[in-house]
Amino acid sequence: MDVLSMIMALFFMLLAVWSQSQLAALQQPKSEAAPALEILYSKRVVTRGAVIAAAVHVSDGRVQSIVPMRNAPKGPKVTDYGRLAISPGLVDVHVHLNEPGREEWEGFETGTKAAATGGVTTVVDMPLNSYPTICDAATFDGKIAASKGKLHVDVAFWGGLVPQNAHNETVLDELIERGVVGLKTFMSPSGIGDFEQSFKPDLEAALKTLAKHQVPLMAHAELPSDVDLDPNADPRKYATYLATRPRKWEQDAIAQLVEIASTTEGAPIHIAHVSDADSLEMIAEAGRQGKRITSETCTHYLTFAAEEIPDGSTLHKCAPPIREAENRERLWEGIKNGTLTFVSSDHSPAPPEDKLVEEGDFLRAWGGISSLQFSLPATWTQALARGLTLADVAEIWSARPAAVVGLGAKGTISAGKDADFVVWDPEAEITVGEDWKVEHKHKLTPYHGMKMKGKIVATYLRGEKIYSSSDERGKYSHNHRAAGPYGRPLLRK
């Protein structure tokens, strides 16, 4: 094991211990609807670092034990899933649900329903693209009220960091104390008028408050500078858009975050959606120096390649942009060696008219990829081709993201954790939009028609089966003991 791998292993061990300590702080009222006793059996239960044949004993919404079937408690209902994999439910820390205010883009109901269909049991909602943006306690209270009765999975929340609140410790204290997992900021224009770009003095001021509460700052890491563009370039060519957001923007932003991390003691920094593989060495070096910096990349950066994107396919537009195939392979190396901490979807849907699907103008179309439902099979398809295992995927999609945002009850199949599971067939092939119904509000996605490995069979949230594919083609199951959707807001206190 090299030095970086040893440091990363120690880091995540300590992070897991700290995250577990947040269990008492996380509002997790006991669910009256949870089944009293149940055992799920599989020859492939994905625990942390291993895949084993085991009986998972569930009671009151939590995992009680993981034992060989012969040692399982007698009496509870047993569901035998054979060789289907039972993995921890996915924890997606980067999702735009857009409610309140922009429900025509997505919304709590459709977004969390799509999450459940894809085996995602916890999402962390972004503070922007909803209206108003979530930058103080009052707007956060409005978002919680808007979510009532609409959550099919558990939802935690990021607060927003903008120049208007960055220097106001009282406003940030109140927002953090309401229960957000951390604050999200943009180092470049966000595209939304009421969520302004933050600058270095804003970040430095806010990190002092974040350090006091020990919650992370998530940064959209692009630092704009002048770009020499061809005025005659064809806007329907993806290369034209790619040239507008060069690698240097990411590199300059990440360098600034590393510098700030050196001068602001005790505040964790999380780099969102890393797309530039040239930045990985900078992130790795920060880790070797003991700086509290984590990072994510996204499913689309690990799946698509710039040179393969068809002319006019604005469904592929996102920021930072999808880069070349060789860059994609180096991102996968960053996943393998631990430089990139985990994967998220950055699900950011928009109506077809905003994506300019008919015009195909990359420069004018809204940027954002619709992907929440497809995260597990999309990642697994690519991971399998590169030699990763079921346990590896559970690490980057469940254990690590839960730890980074302090959701101590989530992320692994282990005693005391929430009984959040995805039951799936890693060998089965599915085709998006054909034999797997898309539950997002808008069905347009660059994943449409793609063949992937990994069929979602069932999703469990705190012991309740909230999705099943066995009833009929893509049917969503509402067979809860509780009335209505079973998810709830997760608030850190």
Alpha-carbon distances of 336 from 3, 8, 189, 386, 416, rounded to whole Å: 15, 12, 32, 9, 29
Residues found in the chain:
493
Question: What residue type is 69 in one-letter code?
Answer: M
Number of structural domains found in the chain: 1
What pLDDT sits at residue 361?
98
Question: What residue type is 252 in one-letter code?
Answer: D
- Within a domain: residue 427? no
pLDDT grade for 58, boundaries at 50, 70 and 90: very high
What pLDDT sits at residue 30?
41
d(CA 488, CA 82): 31
pTM recorded for the entire structure: 0.92
What pLDDT sits at residue 264?
75
Residue 51 phi, psi (nearest 5): -120, 120
- Within a domain: residue 110? yes
Burial readout 293-323 (b: 16 or more C-beta within 10 A, e: otherwise) = bbbbbbbbbbbbebeebeebbbbbbbbbbbb
pLDDT grade for 27, boundaries at 50, 70 and 90: very low
pLDDT tens digits, 108-135: 999 999 999 999 999 999 999 999 999 9
Asked if pLDDT for residue 481 goes beyond 70, the answer is no
CATH number of 361's domain: 3.20.20.140
- Within a domain: residue 149? yes
What pLDDT sits at residue 72?
85
Instruction: Please compute the mean of the pLDDT values over residues 177-200 and round it to a whole number.
Output: 97
pLDDT tens digits, 348-405: 999 999 999 999 999 999 999 999 999 999 999 999 999 999 999 999 999 999 999 9
Q: Which residue has the higher pLDDT, 165 or 33?
A: 165
What pLDDT sits at residue 324?
99
Q: Give the lowest-confidence range in 157-171, 250-264, 322-336.
A: 250-264
Q: Which residue has the higher pLDDT, 37 or 182?
A: 182
Q: Residue 367 is encoded by which pair of tokens?
A: 């940027």
What pLDDT sits at residue 263?
81
- Within a domain: residue 140? yes
Q: Give the lowest-confidence range in 17-21, 43-47, 392-396, 448-452.
A: 17-21
Q: Which residue has the higher pLDDT, 458 or 6?
A: 458
pLDDT tens digits, 247-258: 999 999 999 999
What pLDDT sits at residue 430?
96
Residue by residue, DSSP assigns 78-91 as EEE-TTSEEEEPEE
What is the percent of the chain with per-residue pLDDT over 70, rounded to a whole number? 90
What pLDDT sits at residue 9?
52
d(CA 385, CA 383): 5
Residue 152: domain span:
3-19+90-408
- Within a domain: residue 344? yes
- Within a domain: residue 322? yes
CA atoms within 13 A on the CB side of 74: 1
Asked if pLDDT for residue 19 goes beyond 80, the answer is no
Mean pLDDT (the chain) is 92
- Within a domain: residue 475? no
What pLDDT sits at residue 262?
86
- Within a domain: residue 460? no
